[in-house]
C-alpha cells in the first residue's frame, strides 16, 4: 500500500510539471467524455483528464472498472453507458479492432517519434493496412536480477553460464539461474532464452503486420541452437522443477545469484536492503535475449462518435495522453515504466528504471488472437527439455510444439 500511495504521489506531482495546455478541440456544448480505467490508474487519470478537459471546455467522467472484466464489459455494455475512451492491454488490440469496438487514431508524426517502435506495434493491427488503435502509456517486462554480493554482472552469455554454474556448485541446494517454470513450463519467463536462441513467435508480412502462418517456434536457427538447451539441462543451469515461489525464495535466500523476474517483484527486493542488486537484460546468446513487452494504453471506442465526442476523445488519447507529463503520471500510478522515451528519463525509482532499460529491443506481446494457441505448447516444450534426466531432446520438444501449434491455428 505504501508503494502504491507513493506511486500516486509521484504521478500527481508529475502533472505539476506539465507543459502548456493543448489547443482547444471541437466538442458540443456540455459534452462529456466517459473514460473507463482500472483501480491503479483512476486517481492519476482523473487529474490528467481533468486538466485536459479544463483546457477544452469538455467534461470528463472517469469510471473505475475491474481490469480483468473490462474487455468483456466493453463488448456487452449498452450504448448509453458505454465509454468513449478505455484503458486496454495491447494483447486485446486485434480482438477489439476486428469487432469494431475501437477506432483508429492518427497522432502527429512528431508525437509518435517519442515512442519506441515496439510500443506502437503493440497497439497496431491490420491484416491489410496496419493502423494504430491506441496510445501506449506503460510497459512491463522481465529482466535478469543479479545479486552483486555473490557474482559480477555478466556482460556475455558465457560469463553468465560460467558464473551461475560455479555458484551452483558452491553449496547443495543452490540454483544456477532462478527462472520460474513448473510442470507445465512458463513460456513468458523463458522468452529471453527463446529469443536469444533465435526463436520467435510470428513473423511479419509485407505490411508489417504479424503473420500467424509464419511460425518461428522451431525455425532453422532455433533448432540449430537447441543443443545448448540440452547442455543447460545436463548442467542444471535451468530446471523446470523451479516454480515461481522456488525462484523467489532461492534468490532472496541467497541460494541463487541470478533471478529472472519483473517489476512486480520490486516490493520484495525493496524489503531486502542487505542485498546488492543490479537488473540487466539477459546477455545475448546467439541472438539478443530480449524479453516480451506487455504494453498498456488507452483506446477510443466506437461509441465516441455516437456520443458526439469522437474528435475530443481522439485529441485526449492521441495528443494529450502522449505527453511526457501525462505518461509519467499514469505509468507511475500503475508501478510500470512509461512508454514515452522522454517520460522514461524521469523515472526515479532505481529498480523500475533498471527493469525498463532491460526491456530495450523487446518484442511486443503478439496482439493477434492466434497467440492464445502458442503459450501452452511452447511452455511445455521448455518444461520437457529442462526436467533433468527424464528430459526430451530440445529439438524434438520444440518441433512437436510447433506442429501442435500450427495444427491449432489451421
Which CATH number applies to 143-290+374-409?
3.40.190.10
Measured between alpha carbons, how far is residue 134 from residues 34, 62, 74, 156, 233 in Å?
16, 18, 15, 37, 42
Q: What is the pLDDT along the chain (410 residues), one digit of tens a residue?
A: 334 334 433 343 443 344 433 445 555 555 899 999 999 889 999 999 999 999 998 999 999 999 999 999 999 999 999 999 999 999 999 999 999 999 999 999 999 999 999 999 999 998 778 899 999 999 999 999 999 999 999 999 999 999 999 999 999 999 999 999 999 999 999 999 999 999 999 999 888 889 999 999 999 999 999 999 999 999 999 999 999 999 999 999 999 999 999 999 999 999 999 999 999 999 999 999 999 999 999 999 999 999 999 999 999 999 999 999 999 999 988 899 999 999 999 999 999 999 999 999 999 999 998 999 999 999 999 999 999 999 999 999 999 999 999 999 98
Q: Which cell goes with 330?
A: 499514469
pTM: 0.90
Would 2-140+293-363 and 143-290+374-409 be classified into the same CATH topology? yes
Among candidate residues 117, 109, 95, the one with its CA nearest the CA of residue 295: 117
Segments making up each domain of the chain, as ranges: 2-140+293-363, 143-290+374-409
CATH superfamily, with its number, for domain 2-140+293-363: Periplasmic binding protein-like II (3.40.190.10)
Query: What's the alpha-carbon Rg for the chain, to the nearest Å?
Result: 22
Burial classification of residue 254, based on how many CB atoms lie within 10 Å of its CB (0-12 exposed, 13-18 middle, 19 or more buried): middle
Q: Please report the DSSP string for 251-285 in residue order.
A: HHTTS-SEEEE-GGGHHHHHT-TTS-EEEEPPPPS
Q: Which residues contact 210 (CB under 8 A, 6 or more apart)?
A: 202, 203, 204, 366, 367, 368
| Distance from chain centroid for Cα 11 | 20
Amino acid at each position: 500500500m505504501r508503494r502504491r500511495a507513493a506511486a500516486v504521489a509521484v504521478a500527481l506531482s508529475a502533472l505539476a510539471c506539465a507543459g502548456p495546455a493543448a489547443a482547444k478541440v471541437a466538442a458540443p456544448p456540455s459534452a462529456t467524455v466517459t473514460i473507463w480505467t482500472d483501480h491503479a490508474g483512476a486517481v492519476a487519470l482523473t487529474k490528467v483528464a481533468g486538466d485536459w478537459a479544463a483546457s477544452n471546455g469538455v467534461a470528463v467522467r472517469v469510471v473505475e472498472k475491474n481490469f480483468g472484466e473490462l474487455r468483456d464489459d466493453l463488448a456487452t455494455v449498452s450504448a448509453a453507458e458505454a465509454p468513449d475512451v478505455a484503458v486496454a492491454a495491447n494483447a486485446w488490440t486485434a480482438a477489439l479492432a476486428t469487432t469494431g469496438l475501437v477506432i483508429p487514431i492518427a497522432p502527429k508524426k512528431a508525437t509518435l517519434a517519442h515512442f519506441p517502435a515496439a510500443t506502437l506495434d503493440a497497439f497496431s493491427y491490420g491484416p491489410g493496412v496496419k493502423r494504430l488503435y491506441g496510445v501506449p502509456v506503460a510497459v512491463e517486462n522481465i529482466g535478469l536480477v543479479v545479486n552483486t554480493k555473490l557474482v559480477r554482472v555478466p556482460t556475455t552469455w558465457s560469463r553468465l553460464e560460467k558464473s551461475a554454474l560455479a555458484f551452483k556448485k558452491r553449496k547443495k541446494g543452490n540454483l544456477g539461474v532462478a527462472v520460474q517454470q513448473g510442470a507445465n513450463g512458463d513460456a513468458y519467463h523463458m522468452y529471453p532464452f527463446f529469443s536469444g536462441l533465435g526463436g520467435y513467435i510470428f513473423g511479419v508480412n509485407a505490411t508489417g503486420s504479424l503473420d500467424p502462418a509464419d511460425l518461428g517456434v522451431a525455425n532453422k536457427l532455433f533448432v540449430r541452437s537447441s543443443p545448448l538447451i540440452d547442455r543447460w539441462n545436463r548442467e542444471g543451469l535451468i530446471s523446470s522443477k523451479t516454480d515461481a515461489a522456488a525462484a523467489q525464495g532461492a534468490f532472496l535466500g541467497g541460494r541463487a545469484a541470478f533471478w529472472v523476474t519483473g517489476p512486480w517483484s520490486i516490493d520484495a527486493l525493496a524489503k531486502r536492503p542487505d542485498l546488492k542488486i543490479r537488473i540487466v537484460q539477459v546477455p545475448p546468446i546467439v541472438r539478443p535475449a530480449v524479453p516480451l513487452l506487455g504494453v498498456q494504453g488507452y483506446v477510443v471506442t466506437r461509441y465516441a462518435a455516437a456520443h458526439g465526442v469522437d474528435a475530443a476523445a481522439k485529441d485526449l488519447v492521441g495528443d494529450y495522453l502522449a505527453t511526457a507529463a501525462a505518461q509519467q503520471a499514469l505509468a507511475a500510478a500503475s508501478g510500470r515504466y512509461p512508454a514515452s522515451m522522454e517520460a522514461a528519463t524521469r523515472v526515479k525509482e532505481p529498480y523500475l528504471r533498471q527493469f525498463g532499460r532491460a526491456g530495450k529491443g523487446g518484442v511486443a506481446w503478439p496482439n493477434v488472437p492466434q497467440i492464445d494457441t502458442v503459450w501452452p505448447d511452447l511452455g511445455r516444450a521448455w518444461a520437457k527439455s529442462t526436467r533433468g534426466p527424464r528430459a526430451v531432446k530440445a529439438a524434438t520438444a520444440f518441433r512437436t510444439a510447433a506442429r501442435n501449434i500450427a495444427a491449432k491455428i489451421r
